[in-house]
A and B are shown apart, each in its own frame.
Chain A
Amino acid sequence: MGAGHQRQLYRPGDTLVHRLPPQCKLLAVACFAVVVVATPREAFWAFGVHVLLLAVVAAVARVPPAFVLRRMVIELPFVVFAVALPVIGLGARVEVLGMSLSAEGLWAAWNILAKATLGVVASVLLAATTEPRAMLQGARRLRLPPLLVQIAMFMLRYMDVILDEMRRMRIARESRGFAGRDLRHLPVLAKSAGALFIRSYERGERVHLAMLSRGYTGTMPVIHEGGASAGDWATAVLLPVAALVTAALSWSLS
């Protein structure tokens, strides 16, 4: 119980961005990401504009920069990969601070870093202004495959239950003197993971029975429609359209 204290992505508020219907925001972020990827990597100024656009969204949503920065750690694996590229890259080399780096690798690293960062920031802003369950309602209204939406919904609902179960298993292990310190303890942890999987699977079966008992026939009943008005859509497309204009300018300039 007491769901997610530190891994809270959502930041409650009542701003223009918070109030937008989730499906509008989802689509806006997806389009923004595509436009960012389509922006040529040489157009530094265009990326500057993209950053500015996101900064405006963050300001309107009253999401402080520190909040966004802390939640960007998810990007770390990409950063590691991007940092490796100039070192392992082939082709022409350039001297930077006494190191011989691949020019092509540098470009590739910049390309990955810039585009991934913009995508991550946009997603963090989306998550900060949209409750997880609203996100799923939005996904359903965008007519994403209902099965996937249902799976995500159950994940959301049962994440805490399963984490709680995991915590209880860890306490039970440690109460009997186990401490997972090195590799030799891996089999124990693997067995715990297996047990957790089976428990979750069995819970899935019980939940399915409970659903059948209340007349489930394979589709979730749509309870509230909550459609988006033309005004909502017009507000939401501001971000990707502004980004698209920027990208289009950079295409024509290059």
Chain B
Amino acid sequence: MTASPQPPPSLRVGELAYAYPDGTQALFGVDLTIGAGERVALLGPNGAGKTTLVMHLNGILTAGHGTVEVAGLPVRKDTLPEIRRRVGLVFQDPDDQLFMPTVREDVAFGPANLGVRGAELEHRVREALDQVGLPEVIDRPPHHLSFGQRRRVAVATVLAMRPEILVLDEPSSNLDPASRRELAEVLRSLEVTVLMVTHDLPYALELCERSLILSGGVIAADGPTHEILADGDLLAAHRLELPYGYVVTDRRR
């Protein structure tokens, strides 16, 4: 690393392109940079390539063309373990993410794979569960929790790895309004870079200063969330819509 006083951006994606093995091109050259501590929403209609992009961020898919760097470290085969520690991926269905018999074991899974053991491991588990406000569920089996609790525990499982950047895939899907608010409170309290993949525009507005629109495999817009959401034509061009009766006024005017 250089002696520059600025920390490297949490995430830098350059000219990322990817085609699936069957030839379907999903990403056509994605460029984006997310600074340390930022909370950014990645908006886009279904099929825009959001999930494909997310899979590149921790090396589950590897770039057909282009680069992905996490806090200055490029995603390559030899850097995968460290990349996966730095990028905390929270999947859409918490049942996919919580696969261990108890919450304690599940939250411990990530740090234990990093070699953390004993008292330090227990400390990490408790710390992560405290961060999501669920210290009392530690000994419960994940499938006995409510859906909202499971989603928050899923966040804890990656927080326990002390990631550089938290990537959430549709964090608000299937949540009732109270769980939605509770998750928002948790996300706002974290001191970690957040990339939130969603088409829930009010949630993006509530949590993220900045938004990107991924559409047709490229970044189609990048700016303050309230400006993007106030631009009806831009949203319409990319199959994004605010809920009925919801109006965002551009604060610049």
Contact = CB atoms under 8 A, between A and B. Distances in A.
Interface of A: 1-3, 132-133, 136, 153-154, 156-158, 160-161, 203, 206-207, 209-217, 221-223
Interface of B: 55, 58, 60, 81, 84-85, 87, 89, 91, 93, 95-97, 99-102, 105, 108-110, 112-114, 117, 121, 141-144, 157-158, 161
A157 B93 CA distance: 15
A1 B144 contact: yes
A146 B121 CA distance: 22
Contact of A216 (B58, B113, B121): B113
A212 B89 CA distance: 10
B81 A213 contact: no
Contacts of B101: 132-133, 136, 153, 156-157
A216 B101 CA distance: 16
Given A213-B60, A214-B84, A160 B143 contact: yes
A215 B143 contact: no
Contacts of B84: 212-215
B97 to A, nearest CB: 5
Contact of A223 (B85, B97, B105, B142): B105
Nearest to B157: A214
18 contacts: A2-B144, A3-B144, A133-B141, A153-B101, A156-B101, A157-B141, A158-B99, A160-B143, A210-B91, A211-B99, A213-B84, A213-B87, A214-B113, A215-B110, A215-B161, A216-B109, A221-B113, A223-B108
Contacts of B108: 221, 223
Contacts of A223: 105, 108, 112, 117, 121
Contacts of A160: 143
B161 to A, nearest CB: 7
B96 A3 contact: no
A160 B142 CA distance: 11
Nearest to A2: B144
A216 B108 CA distance: 12
Contacts of B100: 153, 157
Contacts of A154: 99
A221 B112 contact: yes
Contacts of B112: 221-223
A132 B143 CA distance: 14
A12 to B, nearest CB: 13
A217 B113 contact: yes
A158 B98 CA distance: 10
Contacts of A1: 143-144
Contacts of A210: 89, 91, 96-97, 99
Nearest to A205: B96
Of A153, A154, A213, the most chain B CB neighbours within 10 A belong to: A213
Contact of A161 (B55, B102, B143): B143
- 6 smallest A-B Cβ distances: which pairs? A221-B112, A215-B113, A214-B110, A133-B101, A206-B96, A213-B89
Contacts of B96: 203, 206-207, 209-210
A114 to B, nearest CB: 35
Contacts of B117: 223
Given A3-B143, A206-B93, A212 B60 contact: yes
